[in-house]
Amino acid sequence: MLLLTAVAAIAGWLFIEQQFQRMEEPLALEHPVTIEIERGTTLQGLARELEARGRLPSAFWLRLRARLEPELTQLQSGVYQLEDGMSPLAFVRRVVAGDTQTWTVRIPEGWTFERVRARLADAEPLRNELEGMSGEVVMERLGRSGMHPEGWFFPAVYEYEHGDSELDVLERAHDRMQRILSGVWRDRQENLPLDSPYEALILASIVELETPLSEEKPRVAGVFVRRLERGMRLQTDPTVIYGMGDDYQGRIGHADLREYTPYNTYRIDGLPPTPIGMPGEASLRAVVNPAEGDALYFVAKGDGSHQFSSTLEGHNEAVRRYQLNRSEDYRSFPAPENGAD
């Protein structure tokens, strides 16, 4: 009798072990399955959902397993992915660990604040809580009352979770820009014609819009720094375009260069009042450590690079060569890679 009881017990335990092992078998899925765990969801509720979706042989055995592993009941809310090759038990452990599904959004170098806002508004599932707010109000929400938003958000790829908002991403981007700008300013050359980190941010935004080539940024920055030192106007087209706002339709003419705006550096002395886009770290470092030289001018050559000149005569010759006799494949910027902005 005792032998039969022992055999039955062993058989029963082996059966239970078999059921537990089934929960650890990898699932074959054509596509990841997204499951939202709401606050207050119990293991029993999750087990029933997995069973209903055909991803768990039996909810009963998962609940029984939790008696041996009580930590399995400590579910964290969020959105999770059940992936191909993952077992049901591994998925539950992912939920316990809070390894939620994440998404990414990219802020490209040189983009304006309004373009960044538009991208964030289209990024799902980011919560849209900034619609209709002015840039100044957005900065107030970030605790930066009175600060103009342009230029203050570091261009990079940002990760976010379900439940995050546009303001959450902007806060991370703003904090990162502040950290990087502060470090860059500490490493600056002496005797620059820049009086504050903010002026460095403004000039870096111009360099960013003038050239995407990392190796050219210090040379472009050098031209602008020398012009500032000599009291020459910057005379840079991207500032004119920024000042034109919605009136810019892809081209600027002589009348646009003569039109006064606070950003038209053909008409104003020194720097414009704010940045004109979001500069990357290479541009920031370029303006505080500009390349040495005597160039005071540069012009786009049509292949994305620039011709630098130290005299007006040399610059005019470069303009005639590269601007007045443009080839059909002329480009102010290098051709973008696939998928690039």
Per-residue pLDDT of the chain (341 residues; tens, 9 = 90+): 555 555 455 555 556 666 667 777 888 888 888 888 888 899 889 989 888 888 887 888 788 888 888 889 899 888 888 888 888 888 898 989 988 888 999 999 999 999 999 999 999 889 988 888 999 999 999 999 999 999 999 999 999 988 899 999 999 999 999 999 999 999 999 999 999 999 999 999 999 999 989 999 999 999 999 999 999 999 999 999 999 998 888 888 889 899 999 999 999 999 999 999 999 999 999 999 999 999 999 998 888 899 999 999 999 998 888 877 665 554 554 444 444 45
The structure tokens listed for 160 are: 């976010």
Angle CA(250)–CA(252)–CA(255) in degrees, nearest 5?
145
CA distance 107 to 119: 8
Q: If we measure between CA atoms, which residue out of 157, 275, 273 comes closest to residue 207? A: 275
CA distance 235 to 218: 18
The structure tokens listed for 170 are: 């902007």
Beta-bridged to residue 48, according to DSSP, are none
